[in-house]
Amino acid sequence: MAEDKESAENENILAIHRKITAAFEPFDYESKNTVDVREIGTIMYSLDCFPTQADIREFIAEVEENSSGTVHLDRFMPAMTKVLLENKFPPIPRSKIFQAFKVLDKEQKGFVEPEELTKFMMEEGEPFTQEEMDEMLTAHTNRKENVIYYDKLINKLTADAPK
């Protein structure tokens, strides 16, 4: 029994390592098992981890090679494995995101205007850049009505969206 459990745990760790490697490799442009520190957040997001910018900076400080601006897979792998095993940066539940949009949608219309969302996203919490906002608005604004139906947006962004 104990051997079966240990074998299952080892298989789980190997699966996690494969997943991490698959997320890391596309950003290893020189095939040296290294990535630029600026890619770490993107890699973490692709692994369904949703850290804050402060969390990402802290993680980079832990894994960066002597302030070189690069992270080697050998340092990234154990740290990221631990993050995944502990489910350290889980996604925000759909219900919480929906509540946040309801605060912006004072009249409960079911949508927000791009300008209103841009103002909020660029001034509150961890501000988005103009480039990030442009990308999001291009992808999610209803062009005919020039509004963002947040229920549709939330369904696209959340893992626990209704099927």
Q: Which domain holds residue 47?
A: 1-86
pTM above 0.85, yes or no: no
On whether residue 122 sits in a domain, the answer given is yes
On whether residue 21 sits in a domain, the answer given is yes
pLDDT average, residue stretch 135-150: 92
The per-residue b/e assignment along 50-76, b for 16 or more CB within 10 angstroms, e otherwise, is: ebeeebbeebbeebbeeeeebbbbebb
Residue 163 has pLDDT above 70, yes or no: no
CATH code (residue 38): 1.10.238.10
Do residues 82 and 128 both lie within one domain? Answer: no
pLDDT for 86 equals: 96
pLDDT average, residue stretch 15-29: 97
Do residues 1 and 79 both lie within one domain? Answer: yes
Do residues 76 and 113 both lie within one domain? Answer: no
Residue 7 has pLDDT above 90, yes or no: no
Last residue of a domain, one of 32, 63, 86: 86
pLDDT average, residue stretch 103-130: 89
pLDDT average, residue stretch 107-122: 92
Give the burial class of 156: count Cβ atoms within 10 A of its Cβ; 0-12 exposed, 13-18 middle, 19 or more buried: exposed
- Distance, in Å, from the CA atom of 113 to the CA atom of 3, rounded to the nearest integer, reads 57
Do residues 20 and 76 both lie within one domain? Answer: yes
Last residue of a domain, one of 86, 116, 134: 86
Do residues 105 and 126 both lie within one domain? Answer: yes
- Distance, in Å, from the CA atom of 150 to the CA atom of 25, rounded to the nearest integer, reads 34
Residue 153 has pLDDT above 90, yes or no: no
Helix (H), strand (E) counts: the chain: 8, 4
How many domains in the chain?
A: 2
Do residues 4 and 43 both lie within one domain? Answer: yes
Do residues 69 and 110 both lie within one domain? Answer: no
Do residues 18 and 64 both lie within one domain? Answer: yes
Side chain identity, residue 99: Q
Question: Under 8 Å CB-to-CB from 62, ≥6 apart: which residues?
Answer: 79
pLDDT digits (tens, 9 = 90+) for 23-56: 999 999 999 999 999 999 999 999 989 898 899 9
- Distance, in Å, from the CA atom of 22 to the CA atom of 125, rounded to the nearest integer, reads 31
On whether residue 120 sits in a domain, the answer given is yes
Residue 10 has pLDDT above 70, yes or no: yes
| Percent of all residues in the chain with a pLDDT value above 90, rounded to a whole number | 61
Q: What is the mean pLDDT of the chain?
A: 90
On whether residue 163 sits in a domain, the answer given is no
Selected residue with higher pLDDT from 125 and 135? 135
